[in-house]
Structure formats: C-alpha cells, structure tokens
Amino acid sequence: MYEVNTEKSVFESWKLGNLTLKNRIIKAATFEGLAQNGVPDDRLIHFHEKFAAGGAGVVTVAYGAVNEDARTFDHQMCMQDDRVNGVLKKVTSAIHKHGAAASLQLAHCGMQTRYSKLSSKPFSYSASWGLNPYGLLSGIPFMRPMPEKVIEQTCDDYAISAKRAVDAGFDMLELHMGHGYLFSQFMSPAYNKRRDKFGGNLENRMRFPRLALRRVREAVGPNVPIVVKLNLQDGFEGGSTLDDCIEASKIIEQDGDASLLVLTGGFSAKSPMYLFRGPSAIKPLIAIQKNLIAKLVYTLAAKKFPDMPFKEMFFLDDAKKVREAVKMPIALVGGIKSLANFKTVMNEDFDGIVLGRTLIHEPDLPKIYESGEQSTSGCISCNRCVAHIDSDDGVICPINVEMASEAA
C-alpha cells in the first residue's frame, strides 16, 4: 500500500532524478501555434518566458512533432527541421533566466492531422484501419495502420528529436502518450485492432510507446528526467479505462525509463470536451475558422462538443487510484485553480501540479499565490482559449485581450 506524505508544499524545491526544481508547479504543454511552416519564431520565446517569470518551476514547450507526418497543424513545430535549433536555444535561455527548468513535449498526432502543406497528404497513420473524422478538415477521411518499419523509424525520430532538445538546453522531456494522439491510439482498445505484436492485450498495445520511450532514454542518458503524459481514461465507451491506466502506470514504473507521470484525460473526435470540462468550445471554434469548409464541418459536429460540468480537480478521484498503485512521482492536471486546492493535491501526495488554462490567463499566478496577495484564480474555464489552437496568432486568453482593450 502506498504511504501518503502529507508534508509536501507546492512552493518547496524538490528533486526529480538529479534535477532540482524550485517548486512543484508545472506549466502544462498547451499548444502555442507559433511555428509557421514548422519553425517557431521569437514569439515562442516571449510566450514561455512569461510563465518562468511568473514563478512556475517547470515550463513546458508543447507538441514538438518528431517528424513531418507527426504534425496536426501547419503552425506546429517540427523537430526534424534544423532551423528550430536557434529559437529553442533562446527559449531555454529565457526560461533559465528566471530559475525555472525547461521541458519539451515530443509527440506524434497519428490520425489526428489537419496538416495541409505537404506536397502530398499526411499518411494519417494510427494503430488500425478506420474512419478519421478529424481528418475530414483536410481531406484525410481514413486512418491506416502504421507498418512495423515505420514504427521503428518513428522510434528513431523520437530519439533524434530528444537529443536535439537536450542539445538546445532543455532540462527535461515529455513524451505524449495521452489525449488521442498516436501512442494513445495504440494503447486504446477502441483504435487498436491489430493482430501482430503491437495489438491485443495492454502490454502489446503499449509495445510501441515503450519502445520509443526506451530509445529516448538511450539517446539522452540516465540523468535527463523524462515525463510521460498518460490518459486516466479516454472518456468514451470502448476506450481505455482507469484500470488500463493503472496497469499502464505499473508497466511504465517497472520499465524504469520514465521519471514522472502526468495524469490527464482523453481528447479526440469521440470526446473532445472530456479533457477540458466547462462550456463547449464549439462556438468560438467556428468563429475563428477562416475556411468555409472547416466552419461547416465544425457546425455539423457541434453535438460532439457538449457543455460538461466543471469542478476543480476533476481528475483527482481517478488519479488517486493510480497514486495508490505506484510509487513513482506523479503530477496532476485538470482544473486545479485555487490555492486551497493546490494544498489538497499536495495532501493527496502528488508530486506536482500541472496548470494550463489557469496560467494562460494569469502567468504570474504562482508568485501571486506564494506572496499571499490572493488565493483564487481569475480564470473562469470558459474554454475560449482552446479555440485559438486554430489561430495563426497563437493561443491567447481572449478575456485578457478584452480587458486590455476596455482599459485602453
């Protein structure tokens, strides 16, 4: 039975492997949308520096695609492009200047692609054959099974991308095995119908992500902490369950290649609001689209984006079951906004608190909370920031923009 340590403080320094972190607050890997043609510009530096200056202990650069076919968006960073090196070095320097650690998330979208600027369409690889509702926006209506030779190459791409990130000054790495992206698709029984060594029971369905994780560990050595982001549940019938997550966590712990689990939830065409909770993002998503076909597709799919009741710490109950099952460090995401609930999460013996929307709204919230100036966040979890993943101007908090406009 896991023994709970109730003496943790969110503002205390702690060690993740050999890396000392100044506090237990982690800026989540929220997609920035600041990499036109796969290469980020200086806006990425300013975007992340404000979270470091605001007091987060770890700042995570999001959704670095490990190859061209791994991209969901045209304005998503591709780690295979040599031109990313210079900007990433500036990003890590800006984060380090404020005493925070820099982390980079590596990912492959699998079937969840709308990347339209390749000379040919993306392959829309997944675990198995099937319809790809997400790909309708870019004329890719089907997903197809990734061949074993491509699985091997993709694992190598993860290792190459990881080495590039560490060479650019990143202190940590995150492998995205959650939401509804490629590794999640392989791990989910809803998507993985394979009959080879990559399908069947959970251990086989995890073979590909575990192989990639091992390659990354071999590429960066034993001293770089590696975070694994994992779904507690997919959020729809037939998908991965909490029991799957518990067993997957045990396997990852036993393998010994990961340093920290970040527990999250599914995000796919089957359950687009399960991850976020709160008001539906569909109206702002429709409004921000420039393409009439995209507007039409989102309009027709509106029923897939229901309002979902929001409560703080909405993943806590599920995450506690995982906490009881493994001893490795775990960080929790999911509507953790008030200082009181920071303390609640710590008292449940989680090792870190991962903040997304809350910090997009108030980047300096960690410093404000630590100073005692306030104990609640101004973020209302309206999900309007979510719609800006489709904006060429990057992800913002629209409420902040409106408040600044009114004050001008």
* Rg of the chain in Å (alpha carbons): 20
Phi, psi of 86 (to 5 degrees): -65, -45
Q: How far is residue 386's CA from residue 391's CA, in Å, rounded to a whole number? A: 10
Q: How far apart are CA 219 and CA 228, in angstroms?
A: 16
Please spell the DSSP secondary structure of 275-338, one letter per residue: TT-BS-SHHHHHHH--SHHHHHHHHHTGGGS--B---TTTTHHHHHHHHHH--S-EEEESS--S
C-alpha distance from residue 25 to each of 58, 142, 163, 221, 374 (Å): 7, 39, 25, 25, 17
Alpha-carbon gap, residue 274 to 266, rounded angstroms = 6
Active site residue 63: no
**d(C-alpha 121, C-alpha 132), whole Å:** 14
**Set 63, 125, 158, 181: catalytic member:** 181
**Per-residue tokens: 57:** 């202990």
Catalytic site positions: 181
